[in-house]
Amino acid sequence: MTDADRPEALRTPDDRFHDLPGFPWRPHYVEDLPGFPGLRLHHLDEGRRDGPVFFCLHGQPTWSYLYRRMLPVFAEAGRVVAPDLFGFGRSDKPVDDGWYSFTRHRDSLLRFVEALDLRDITLVCQDWGGLLGLTLPVDMPDRFSRLIVMNTGLGTGEHSLGEGFEAWKAYNRSQPDMDVAKLIRRATPVLTEAEAAAYGAPFPDVRYKAGVRRFPELVPASPDADGAAVSRRARDFLKTAWNGPVFMAVGMQDPVIPPKAMAYLCSQIRGCPEPMQVPDAGHFVQEWGAPVARAALDAFARAGAA
Domain that holds residue 121: 3-302
The average pLDDT across 185-192 equals 94
DSSP letters for 270-304? TT--SPEEETT--S-GGGGHHHHHHHHHHHHHHTT
pLDDT (tens digit per residue) in 149-170: 999 999 999 987 778 888 888 9
Give, in degrees to the nearest 5, the angle at Cα 127 between 121 and 132. Answer: 55
State residue 269's pLDDT score: 98
pLDDT in tens, 11-36: 999 999 999 999 999 999 999 999 99
For range 47-75, the mean pLDDT: 97
Q: Where are the alpha helices (DSSP H) in 63-221?
A: 71-75, 102-116, 128-133, 163-173, 180-187, 193-200, 210-218
Which SS3 state, helix, strand or coil, does residue 41 take? strand
The whole-number pLDDT of residue 50 equals: 92
Q: How many CB atoms lie within 10 A of CB 209?
A: 24
Catalytic annotation on 159? no
Q: Taking residues 181-190, report their average pLDDT.
A: 94
Residue 305 has pLDDT above 80, yes or no: no
The 10s digit of each residue's pLDDT in 204-223 is 999 999 999 999 999 999 99
User: Do residues 43 and 82 make contact, with C-beta atoms less than 8 angstroms apart?
Assistant: yes
Q: Given this model, what pLDDT does residue 168 score?
A: 86
Q: pLDDT band at residue 4, thresholds of 50, 70 and 90? A: low
Residue 254 catalytic?
yes
Q: Could you give the number of structural domains in the chain?
A: 1
Q: Which among 18, 97, 127, 179 is annotated as catalytic?
A: 127
Instruction: Give the C-alpha distances (Å, rounded to integers) separating 98 from 19, 72, 175.
Output: 33, 36, 17
Write down the catalytic residue from 32, 107, 283, 298: 283
pTM of the model: 0.96
**How far, in Å, CA of 84 to CA of 68, rounded?**
13
Q: Any catalytic annotation for residue 105?
A: no
Residue 294's CATH number? 3.40.50.1820
Average pLDDT over residues 127-146: 98
Three-class DSSP category at 148: strand
**Sheet of strand 53-57: strand arrangement:** 28-31, 40-47, 79-83, 53-57, 121-125, 144-149, 246-251, 276-278
- Catalytic choice (92, 205, 254, 280): 254
pLDDT at 102 over 50: yes
pLDDT value of position 264: 96
Average pLDDT score, the chain:
95
